[in-house]
Amino acid sequence: MKTVYLFPGQGSQFPTMGLDMYEKYEQARNLFDRANQILGFSITDVMFSGTEDDLKQTKVTQPAIFLHSVIMATLMGDKFCPDMAAGHSLGEFSALVACKSLTFEDGLVLVSKRAMAMQKACEVEPTTMAAVLGMDDAKVEEICQTINGIVVAANYNCPGQLVISGSIASVDEACEKLKAAGAKRALRLPVGGAFHSPFMEPAREALALAINETKFSQPVCPIYQNVTAQAATNPEDIKANLISQLTAPVRWTQSVVNMIADGATDFVEIGPGKVLQGLVKKTNSAVNASSFVL
């Protein structure tokens, strides 16, 4: 039996997130307070008492989810004993910190820089994403290739659930063609831009500089990274994959399949929400998937 720890990405945030940990555990308070110093603003004020809209601010969302996940993993202490780990998009940074490849401080700085770089890239040109349900991945890819302009597969979440990303006109055209071809649903998502697409190239370049200046160590277990869906332990490989991640698709379905093939039997989600355990069960209903509760 092998246990995998999973770390969620953007969209899992909720008002009051992290407040229970802050109130109960001194170790959590110290880390949250340190985060406020590093970021230069009180992210805890927004996390603990902000509205849903407040939490959607780019400079808040990604660090907030990262902090919730990493601090929860830290509070697990000796219970945190992964055979493998993976994170969905932003969650990959949480996984790397929890598994000792990055320090808490360096991980938070990179996440903050990543959020700002993505926001800046989104402002260059109006772009979007759309969820496609009930269609084979290969068919979605095939239809996207027939569209004028840029629209690509961005998130392979589970069988029958794929997110596409690109220019607004191209995504809209793809949605119409996908529905005509038999997709159960193809609808735009309320996101800031075309994440995991060529439109994130300016953000990739900015983040590459920061990643290359940061020290990475070998993690305590293999990290299945989004770009390759394969296990990585070599720090240089991890860095290269992280840099590629912003413009490459999140191969979550493939990562789950590969982890199961490598012996994973139990998947435990650490952080806000329950999205990832649901995707795991939709990929393979025979494995155990749950959330860690302090």
Active site residues: 89, 196
Largest CA distance in the chain: 56
Number of neighbours of residue 186 by Cβ within 10 angstroms: 25
Alpha-carbon span 189 to 157, nearest angstrom: 14
In whole angstroms, what is the distance from residue 14 CA to residue 203 CA?
Answer: 26
Distances in Å between the alpha carbon of 43 and those of 3, 63, 158, 181, 290? 32, 8, 32, 45, 28
CA distance 191 to 77: 35
Please name the residues in contact with 240: beta carbons below 8 A apart, sequence gap of 6 or more: none
Give the count of beta carbons closer than 10 Å to the beta carbon of residue 138: 9
Residue position matching structure tokens 């290739």? 145
Q: What are the distances in angstroms from CA 260 to CA 5, 22, 73, 160?
A: 13, 35, 22, 19
Give the chain's end-to-end CA distance (angstroms, integer).
22
What pairing do the DSSP bridges indicate for beta strands 250-251 and 161-167? unpaired
- Listed in sequence order, the DSSP H helices in the chain are 19-24, 26-39, 43-49, 52-55, 58-75, 91-98, 104-124, 137-144, 168-180, 201-212, 235-245, 252-261, 275-283
